[in-house]
């Protein structure tokens, strides 16, 4: 193992990319998308040369309160290529007014709404754009349900990279406006995010643009995994018992699970893991159906509009990895309808002073249901991961 001194002289300890399905290793000096094995085509995971002799309290002391405090465990090799707007290290407030409705549990919010552009997408997109800059990419494209498009437009503006965003026409106007304000080329599509993905892919192939579609490139995942590092650090390296996560594309759920494995390799946490709960909209509940049927993949499911734009993902590209994390954690999956989400947004705002995204509000409903059923046990510490600001969804909230 390389000495701690030599490790600390490097900004990133990145080794290579590996396919979690077939094990094929990919060179990080090249532009990568998914696994090159034509029989696989899986999402790729970054792997690092992780030492075991670091003390977190010493190693992290004095570092910036952003996701880049963990730079050695992130894929950007040269610090000059970091494109940042101050993303990460979001607050972890406990329940306030709602605590009387959860008397048997300690419940916390991980509130991502304060990130640049108002959501957790700043983490993954910020990382992907930084790595794209390092690899010399000049034009990036993505399909989006809303927040990822705004984040891509902002970070590409910061990096001097051109951005093209493909977004469903039914997306609230504020998401479209921010993309245009940041200078992105916005294409509105009459359909869902899968339809946006098809058109974005077609145009990317025609024009030589680089795609950062969810889990079809390896670096958005690395930005999202920093939520897992933060959760561990903010809980003083003692993880909560249960984590509720709103699951559309599922990058964050997979990333958090990956972070916990890396933290165990570092010796900063033990083998204990939270039970992960994927929360979906009944409009797109393919992961929920697959989980309860014990399947390893999900089926395409799209019943149309949902107030939680980010949950309208008919079939996540990395469904295998999402389901694997749920099974490994002895977790669960549950679907919430729009009426319940709308009611919860208003209830949380009135009781907590937090106007959160419908995706985040769905977690409160899911927690209440799984508590009532006895699946969440008295005395357990619970984390609800709110992914974005409710201000951007006012057009949807009735």
CA-to-CA separations, 276 to 61, 67, 116, 269, in angstroms, rounded: 29, 22, 26, 17
pLDDT at residue 3, rounded to an integer? 37
Pseudo-torsion of CA 58, 63, 68, 74, nearest 10°?
Answer: -20
pLDDT at residue 239, rounded to an integer? 98
pLDDT at residue 8, rounded to an integer? 54
Q: Average per-residue pLDDT in the chain?
A: 94
Beta-carbon contacts of residue 199 (< 8 Å; ≥ 6 apart): 143, 166, 187, 189
pLDDT at residue 9, rounded to an integer? 65
pLDDT at residue 1, rounded to an integer? 31
User: Tens digit of pLDDT per residue, the chain (398 long)?
Assistant: 333 434 456 999 999 999 999 999 999 999 999 999 999 999 999 999 999 889 999 999 999 999 999 999 999 999 999 999 999 999 999 999 999 999 999 999 999 999 999 999 999 999 999 999 999 999 999 999 889 999 999 999 999 999 999 999 989 899 999 999 999 999 999 998 889 999 999 999 999 999 998 788 999 999 999 999 999 999 999 999 999 999 999 999 999 999 999 999 999 999 999 999 999 999 999 999 999 999 999 999 999 889 998 999 999 999 999 999 999 999 999 999 999 999 999 999 999 999 999 999 999 999 999 999 999 999 999 999 999 999 999 988 86
pLDDT at residue 397, rounded to an integer? 83
Distance CA 18, CA 398 (A): 45
Distance CA 125, CA 184 (A): 14
pLDDT at residue 322, rounded to an integer? 97
Question: What phi and psi, each to the nearest 5 degrees, are found at residue 313?
Answer: -125, 100
Is-above-0.85 flag for pTM?
yes
Residue with structure tokens 């958005």? Answer: 220
pLDDT at residue 60, rounded to an integer? 96
Sheet containing 185-189: order of strands? 185-189, 162-168, 139-143, 210-211
Three-state secondary structure string covering the chain: CCCHHHHHCCCCCEEEEECCCCCCEECCCCCCCCCCCCCCCCCCEEEECCCCCCCHHHHCCCCCCCHHHHHHHCCCCCHHHCCCCCCCCCCCCECCHHHHHCCCCEEEEEEHHHCHHHECHHHHHHHHHHHHHHCCCCEEEEECCCHHHHHHHHHHHHHCCEEEEEEECCCCHHHHHHHHHCCCEEEEECCCHHHHHHHHHHHHHHHCCEECCCCCCCCHHHHHCHHHHHHHHHCCCCCCCEEEEECCCCHHHHHHHHHHHHHHHHCCCCCCCCEEEEEEEHHHCHHHHHHHCCCCCCCCCCCCCCCCHHHCCCCCCCHHHHHHHHHHCCCEEEEECHHHHHHHHHHHHHHHCCCECHHHHHHHHHHHHHHHCCCCCCCCEEEEEECEEHHHHCCCCC
pLDDT per residue as tens digits for the range 138-149:
999 999 988 999
pLDDT at residue 162, rounded to an integer? 97
Q: Are 131 and 80 in contact (CB under 8 A)?
A: no
The token pair that represents 228 in the structure block: 């897992």
List the beta bridge partners of residue 384.
Answer: 109, 244
The token pair that represents 161 in the structure block: 């990279």
Nearest to 306 by CA among 358, 263, 349, 348: 358
């Amino acid at each position: 193992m390389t000495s701690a001194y030599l490790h600390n002289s490097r900004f990133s300890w990145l080794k290579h990319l590996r396919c979690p399905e077939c094990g094929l290793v990919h060179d990080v000096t090249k532009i990568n998308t998914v696994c090159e094995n034509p029989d696989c085509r899986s999402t790729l995971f970054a792997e690092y040369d992780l030492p075991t002799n670091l003390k977190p309290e010493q190693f992290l002391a004095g570092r910036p309160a952003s996701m880049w405090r963990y730079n050695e465990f992130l894929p950007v090799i040269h610090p000059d290529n970091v494109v940042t707007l101050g993303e990460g290290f979001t607050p972890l407030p406990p329940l306030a007014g709602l605590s009387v409705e959860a008397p048997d549990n300690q419940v916390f919010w991980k509130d991502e709404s304060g990130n640049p552009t108002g959501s957790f997408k700043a983490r993954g997109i910020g990382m992907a754009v930084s790595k794209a800059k390092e690899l010399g990419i000049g034009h990036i494209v993505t399909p989006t349900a809303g927040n990822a498009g705004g984040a891509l437009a902002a970070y590409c503006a910061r990096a001097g990279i051109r951005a093209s965003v493909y977004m469903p026409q039914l997306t609230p106007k504020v998401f479209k406006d921010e993309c245009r304000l940041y200078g992105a080329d916005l294409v509105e599509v009459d359909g869902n995010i899968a339809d946006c993905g098809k058109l974005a892919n077609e145009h990317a192939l025609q024009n030589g643009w680089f795609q950062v579609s969810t889990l079809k490139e390896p670096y958005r995942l690395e930005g999202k995994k920093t939520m897992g590092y933060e959760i561990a650090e903010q809980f003083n390296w003692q993880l909560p018992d249960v984590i509720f996560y709103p699951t559309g594309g599922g990058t964050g759920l997979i990333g958090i699970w990956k972070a916990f494995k890396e933290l165990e390799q570092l010796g900063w946490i033990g083998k204990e893991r939270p039970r992960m709960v994927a929360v979906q909209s009944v409009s797109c509940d393919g992961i929920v159906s697959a989980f309860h049927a014990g399947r390893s993949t999900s089926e395409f499911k799209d019943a149309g509009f949902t107030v939680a734009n980010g949950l309208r993902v008919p079939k996540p590209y990395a469904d295998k990895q999402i389901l694997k994390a749920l099974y490994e954690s002895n977790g669960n999956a549950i679907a919430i309808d729009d009426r319940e989400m709308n009611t919860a947004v208003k209830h949380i705002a009135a009781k907590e002073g937090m106007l959160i995204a419908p995706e985040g509000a769905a977690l409160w409903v899911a927690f209440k249901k799984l508590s009532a059923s006895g699946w969440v046990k008295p005395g357990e510490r619970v984390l609800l991961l709110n992914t974005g600001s409710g201000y951007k969804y006012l057009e949807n909230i009735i």
